[in-house]
Amino acid sequence: MEYDIHTILDLATLGTTLWVIFMIRFKLRASYMEDKDNFPLYYVLAPCVALAVFIHPSTSHNIINRISWALCVYLEAVSVLPQLRVMQNTKIVEPFTAHYVFALGVARFLSCAHWVLQVVDTRGRLLVALGYGLWPSMVLISEIVQTFILADFCYYYVKSVFGGQLVLRLPSGVV
């Protein structure tokens, strides 16, 4: 039963992601600020691919599946960097975008806290259950990295909300 729920959730996530991509590429194209989107994607992709090739799960699955899984974990950890760079370049973040990124930050914090608590609760046995080598530690480090990347934005978001501002203004060098 659990696998059925995960499959449904994965399909729903895929569907909504494809819808968002469609909306961005075709319906909202006029709002794209190409001059502000100057983050070289290879800064994110190359290290993630290299890490995935060398540090991946040690399960009995096909090597391509293991590398793909690792690549997804590493990319997820840094996937928000290009968006944060655009927000830094514009210096102003619209409320809807700010709320979304803040919610993403809260979700990442809770996910990271869950992982840390699980490791503590199992006295480290969870890391052994994920496999051996560097992979278990890299999963945890990826969660922590993603949490800290978003923590900076969340700080300015909370500061802005408590300051009564509807539009979030980021100082230079935040991201």
Q: pLDDT (tens digit, 0 to 9) for every residue of the chain, 175 residues total?
A: 456 776 787 788 888 888 988 887 888 888 777 788 888 888 889 999 999 999 888 877 789 988 998 998 899 889 888 888 888 888 777 788 888 888 888 988 888 888 788 878 888 776 666 666 788 788 888 888 888 888 888 888 888 888 777 677 766 655 5
Map out the domains of the chain as residue ranges: 1-32, 35-169
What pLDDT score does 51 carry? Answer: 93
What pLDDT score does 1 carry? Answer: 46
**Using a CB cutoff of 8 Å and minimum separation of 24, what contacts does 131-140 make?**
131/57, 131/58, 131/59, 132/58, 133/55, 133/58, 134/55, 135/55, 135/56, 135/57, 135/58, 135/70, 138/51, 138/55, 138/70, 138/73, 138/74, 139/73, 139/115, 140/115, 140/116
Q: Are 149 and 74 in contact (CB under 8 A)?
A: no
Q: Are 14 and 37 in contact (CB under 8 A)?
A: no
What pLDDT score does 130 carry? Answer: 62
What pLDDT score does 174 carry? Answer: 52
**Distances in whole angstroms, Cα of residue 167 to Cα of each of 28, 29, 106:** 21, 22, 19
Distance CA 23, CA 16 (A): 10
Distance CA 80, CA 96 (A): 16
> 37 phi and psi, to 5 degrees?
-95, 80
Radius of gyration of the chain measured on its C-alpha atoms = 18
What pLDDT score does 173 carry? Answer: 57
What pLDDT score does 53 carry? Answer: 94
N- to C-terminal Cα distance for the chain?
42
